[in-house]
């Protein structure tokens, strides 16, 4: 497989995981998942940026993108998704983000503070972990070593690029 094909395949397979975080930010708001509670360390569990509405909307947007991809996959010769994989990719991306937020609060980092590498790959590891647990056969069939390496290299580059664009457009407060 040539590198361009691997990049296209990597983006295709990860699109249901790439969409939930920006969708959660766009459609989120309302009650925070941690309900404003703090742990004994004095820090919030997740923070105001992680809301029920964002979690639900982000997950649903990732699933819808995957369903659209399923309609297009026969014409494009690209893999399709089983529904449990779409749920795992979409919800897993947000679960990875929640876990990152939990640890950022434990480190005393404020909302929006940079945590290099973790900020870029939390969605990958969260989505892959759920896929590996719940749809292992589908995951192992689609994510070979080449695709895994491409996704691990490509995701931080895409993440940083999109954040800089969002910052310059005034949509994001920080360029990371």
DSSP-assigned letters across all residues of 25-47: HHH--SSBTTTT-B-TTSSBSS-
Q: pLDDT of 26-53, one tens digit each?
A: 898 999 999 999 999 999 999 999 999 9
Can you tell me the distance from the alpha carbon of 68 to that of 161, in angstroms, rounded to the nearest whole number?
Answer: 25
Phi, psi (deg, nearest 5) at residue 54: -65, -40
Domain ranges for the chain: 3-168
Quickly tell me which residue has 């390496």 as its tokens: 149
Distance in angstroms (rounded) separating the CA atoms of residues 155 and 126: 13
pTM of the entire predicted model: 0.92
Tens-place pLDDT, residues 116-150: 899 999 999 999 999 999 999 999 999 999 999 99
**Residue 171 confidence (pLDDT) above 70:** no
* Spatial CA neighbour of 83 closest among 113, 114, 60: 60
Length in residues, the chain: 176
């Amino acid at each position: 497989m040539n590198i361009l094909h691997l990049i296209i395949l990597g983006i295709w397979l990860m699109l249901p995981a790439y969409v939930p975080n920006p969708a959660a930010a766009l459609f989120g708001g309302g009650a925070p998942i941690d309900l404003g509670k703090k742990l004994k360390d004095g820090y919030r569990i997740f923070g105001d940026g992680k809301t029920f509405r964002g979690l639900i909307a982000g997950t649903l947007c990732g699933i819808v993108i995957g369903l659209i991809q399923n309609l297009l996959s026969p014409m494009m010769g690209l893999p399709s998704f089983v529904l449990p994989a779409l749920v795992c990719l979409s919800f897993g991306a947000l679960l990875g983000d929640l876990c990152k937020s939990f640890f950022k609060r434990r480190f005393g980092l404020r909302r929006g503070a940079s945590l290099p590498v973790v900020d870029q790959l939390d969605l990958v590891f969260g989505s892959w972990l759920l896929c590996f647990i719940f749809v292992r056969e589908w995951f192992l069939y689609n994510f070979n070593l080449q695709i895994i390496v491409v996704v691990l290299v490509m995701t931080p580059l895409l993440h940083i690029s999109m954040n800089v664009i969002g910052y310059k457009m005034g949509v994001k407060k920080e360029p990371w």
